[in-house]
Each structure stands twice: as structure tokens, then as C-alpha cells.
Structure 1
Amino acid sequence: MTGDRSDGGRYGEAVFRPEQAGEGERIDFGALAYDGVTMARLHALGVGPGWRCLDIGAGTGTVSRRLLDEAGVAHVLAVDRDVRFLAERPVPGLEVREADITAPDFAPGRFRLVHARFVLMHLPDRERLVRALARLVEPGGVLVLSDAVDLTGDRAPRTPYSTAMRAMWQGLRATIGTDVSRVPAYPQLLRAAGLERVAAEIHVPPLLPGSPISRFWADTWERSRAAMLATGQVDDAAVDEAIRYLDSEDCAALAAGMLTAWGHRSAARPA
């Protein structure tokens, strides 16, 4: 996805390149940490047989496939800027499309479910994008957005983990435009886009040695190390210390939360 960045970098080009060895595994670590929560929310929203779904920023396709396998939906259109991981594992009912959702001509149709996870946080002009995604929801359908919430603010205890996270967020904002500061505004953005029955929740997975979320953040720091060093907040030794800290019994910290917000399109009024 495209981000608002100072040096012309893009997610997947300047950082987190899909051709880099182990990138698919890094994405899957995140999926192991969050997919259960995502699917529980989608089940609670009634996603099920007969639904046509749009999964934006589908990554390795774990949510798309679980929608088909567990929820029994009729069809999933999985969209990403690079679909190499999606194309590796085709399944019946899964349509894969390489596209940039920020493009003016992105108009794949109407869907009962439109889902985007860890996508909008990397993109500029979120108000416009939320409105555009809301227009893809058919009457009676739902838009579900999930993104990261930073829990390492000024009042968080100083640990190797919090130091690395602060440097990472600053470095990613400077290089590819990642900005999680406005994620708590998602319920208001959904309501402003004309959706109803808007609500939100936050999940914070536990940081335990060897857990998927701990391995995800360790791999993420390795891939964003150059951006982190450029902030001047950390050096190589500090990043290495943070990675060791994540895998130790001394780790006592809060992982980044995942805020999920959703809103429904009225069945009586089309967009």
C-alpha cells in the first residue's frame, strides 16, 4: 500500500519487501497472533454462508481462507499490492487481485463484508479512504477495519521493548508514512462515512517468550532496523537488546493493541 512518506518509499519497497527471505513467515506470525480475534469478531457480526467478501491487504491470505473454510462464505476477493503469497495457495472461492486501493479507479464492486487489517495505518488521507471503502459495502453489509494502537507512550515504563517500539513507529512514519496516532478515531470516521451501529474493541496479545507476537515484533525490528537507527533513538546494540528482551523471562511489557472498528450499511438506504 502507498504511504505518506518523506523519501518516496512505499510499504513493501522501502521496508517489508515481499521478496525478502522470511517475509511471508513474518506476516504469518502476525496472523497467528490476531486471526483468532479477527474471526471471532467476524462471526459475531454474522458473516457466514452466502456472503461475498472483500479482504483488503490480504497478505498471505489467512483471513480470506478462514472466511471460506470456517464461515462458509460464498466468495472472497483478496486484494493486495503484491499477491505472491496469495497466489501460492489457491483455493475454491478465493479470487486474488493485485491492486492499489488508493487508486481512483479501484472499484471492485459491492460486498456484504469489506475487511481491512493493518492497511490504513500505512496510508495517507484516511478519511477519504474510509468513505471509499464504505461505498463498497452493499445495503445490509458491514465494513470492518483493524489497525495497531501504540501503548508505548510517554507514561509507559522505559524498557528495551518500549525504546525499540518508539523508534520503530517514528522510523516507519518517516520512511513509509505509517501513523497509528489516529487509529482511535476510526469509529468517528465510520460514522462520518454514513455507517450505522458503529462500535469498536481492542485486543492486546500477551508478550511471551517464543510466542507468535513476540517473534513478529523481533522480525519486524530486523526488517525496519535501518529506519529505526535513522531516528537516533536507538543503535544496533539497543535493537539487539530489545530482541533478546522479547525472548526472555524478564520481558514485562504491553504489545501494541489491535483496534477493530465496524459499521453497518443500512439495508434500507444504498450508499
Structure 2
Amino acid sequence: MNAAPGQGAFEGGRYGEAYFRPGQAGEGERIDYGALAYDDISLARLRALGAGPGWRCLDVGAGTGTVSRRLLGEAGVESVLAVDRDVRFLGERPVPGLDLLEADITAPGSLSGQYDLVHARFVLMHLAEHESLITSLAALVAPGGVLVLSDAVDLTSDVTPATPYTAAMRAMWQGLRATIGTDVSWVPSSPQLLRGAGLEPVAAEIHVPPLQPDSPISRFWADTWERSRPAMLATGLVDDAGIDAAIRYLVSDECAALSAGMLTAWGWKPGERTSGP
């Protein structure tokens, strides 16, 4: 899934260091499982917002580049600048109109320019500076353009039935927050944060992919738990047997649970677009 690590004094460093390292075997495949689960939804929303010929786009935390390439190939946008802290996956399948930038977006001045679409998916949830970064990303939107942010929403709660899946998800969120700073508690406030950054009108929606045996999202979560196992164990909420049981639960007909949702919020920069086909 798209990732751009942020700064913070966490025991596991930043996203992509102690956990989810780009150089770790299979990490690109894990990201692609997420893409298979969410890309169609993301592309449908971006196209509904008008992304198409003449649009200049910035894809922040572009991961393996699936959204960037589909914006070019299906939406027909003019150009995409795909940004990630590590671009090794982005350079594997170059296409015309796709430019790459290896940058840490938390560094001042790392991004510049004006874009009709600024898009970031599953990026800000990993960044302690998410609120200030929303303001920075909004500044990159050209007049008449749109900022689109997607991040995870945890759908487990105190009243969620106890299952191996529920225990694993709670341990994952708590463990990743303690080790690398991943925090989804603020995500429902995304529309208000977009308004606070000077964008209007704003709107939002949530998509929850179904958990089915061998589905991309089920394989994504199983792989994510394997890679974050030490952080999950450190919470004391699960043990190794509990994580293994959760993985088996995902591929069984007993599975009756909600995946984490993807909340997508968008807001428009006041003014008239000057670019076009």
C-alpha cells in the first residue's frame, strides 16, 4: 500500500524501517495486495472528481505505482509525479508521463509545484505531522484543483464480538502506534482538517472490502500481521498462537468480520483551473 514514513521518536523508527522495509522480501507483493483491494475504488473516485486529459497530478507515497499508472492509462491525465521515500518499486514499470521523485515529504521544501490533483493514500496515518502536512499538501493544489486523502478507519470497538481476527487487529493498531507511530484515531476528522486547510467544498466516503478466503485484502492483513508480529506480541493482547489463529480465521468459512475501512476525503481549492486538454 502507498507509504511515506514520517518523523517521530518511536522505538521502531519510521514506517519502512523496523517494519515494512522496502528491501524485505515480498514487501512489494504485500503492497500490491492492498492495491488489488482498493485501486478500483480509488480510481473510480478520482475519475468522478474529474481527473482526466490535461490534468497534472501528484501521487504522494505512490508505493508500487498502481494508482499513478492507472491515472495515466485509464483516466488519460497529462502527467503524474509519483513520490515516495523509496522509489525502487516505482521504477520497475516505467510509462510515458510518469515522473519519479524520491523524497521524504516531512522534510521542508521536499515538494513544490502546482497540481490539479494531489493524492495520498495510506500515507498520513503513518505520520505524526499529519495535520501540518495536510496544509502543505493543500498548498500544492492549483486553483480549481482537488486534494484527495485516503487513510484507514479501525472498525473494531469494545462491542465488536471477540474473534481471533478482532484480537489481532487491536494488537496490530496498538503495536504499530507504539513502535512506528501509526495512528488512525484522527482519520474521521479528515473532512474538517481539509476545511481547515482552506479547501471547500469537502466530502468523504468509506469503503470496506469484504473479508473472503484468499481475497486480496485477507492476504494483505495476513502478510501485515506476519511482518508486524513483534510489535503485536509486545502489546500483550495476543501471543504467537493467537496471531496464527487469526491468519487461519481469515481463510476459513468461519470468518465473519469487517476489514478496516478506507476513508477517502476530498476538498477543492477555490478558483478556476487554468490547465486543460
Aligned to 2:181: 177
Structure 1: 5+ residue runs without aligned partners? none
One-letter amino acid of the counterpart of residue 45, structure 2: R
CA shift, 1:47, in A, is 0.5
User: CA distance change for structure 1 residues 64 and 269 in 2, over 3 Å: closer, same or farther?
Assistant: closer
Q: Which residue of 119, 126, 141 corresponds with 1:122?
A: 126
**How many angstroms apart in 2 are the aligned matches of 1:180 and 1:99?**
23
In the TM superposition, residue 108 of structure 1 has moved relative to its aligned partner by 2.5
Task: Tell me, yes or no, if structure 1 residue 45 matches structure 2 residue 38.
Answer: no
Specify the alignment match of 1:89 in structure 2.
Answer: 93
Distance 1:21 1:8, change over 3 A: closer
CA contact (8 A) 1:3 1:122 kept: no
Mapping for residues 168-247 of structure 1, pairs under 5 Å:
168-247=172-251
Aligned-CA RMSD value: 1.3
Determine the C-alpha separation between the residues in 2 that align with 1:141 and 1:268: 8
Deviations 1:66-110 (A, max 9, x none): 000000001000000010000111111000110011111223211
Amino acid of the structure 2 residue aligned with 1:21: A
Instruction: Name the amino acid aligned to 1:145.
Output: L
- The equivalences for 1:1-271 within 5 A come to 1-7=5-11, 9-267=13-271
Q: Output the CA distance in 2 between the equivalents of 1:216 and 1:269.
A: 38
For the 8 Å contact 1:202–1:257, the answer to whether it is kept is yes
SS at match of 2:201: strand
8 Å CA contact 2:7, 2:106 repeated in 1: no
Return the alpha-carbon distance in structure 1 between the equivalents of residues 113 and 69 of structure 2.
20
Secondary structure class of the residue paired with 2:59 = strand
1:33-60 Cα shifts (integer Å, max 9, x gaps): 0000000100110100010000001000
SS at match of 2:75: coil
SS at 2:64 equivalent:
coil
Distance 2:11 2:216 in 1: 31
Q: C-alpha distance in 1, partners of 2:93/2:182?
A: 29
One-letter code of the match for 1:126?
Answer: H
Native 8 Å contact 1:5 1:174 kept in 2:
no
Q: Which amino acid aligns with 1:17?
A: R
Q: What is the alpha-carbon distance in structure 2 between the residues aligned to residue 213 and residue 38 of structure 1? A: 15
CA contact (8 A) 2:83 2:103 kept: yes
Q: Which runs of 4+ in 1 moved over 4 A?
A: none
Deviation at 1:138, TM superposition (A): 0.2
Q: Does the Cα contact within 8 Å between 1:148 and 1:258 map onto a contact in 2? A: yes
Tell me by how many angstroms 1:6 deviates. Answer: 2.6
Taking the aligned partners of 2:263 and 2:71, their CA distance within structure 1 comes to 20
Q: Helix, strand or coil: the match of 2:109?
A: coil
TM-score normalised to structure 2 length: 0.95
The share of aligned pairs that are identical, in percent, is 75
Please list the CA deviations of residues 132-191 of structure 1 after superposition, one character each: whole Å capped at 9, or x if unmatched. Answer: 000000001000000000001111111100100000000000111000000000000000
Shift of 1:5: 4.4
| CA distance, structure 2, for counterparts of residue 128 and residue 49 of structure 1 | 31
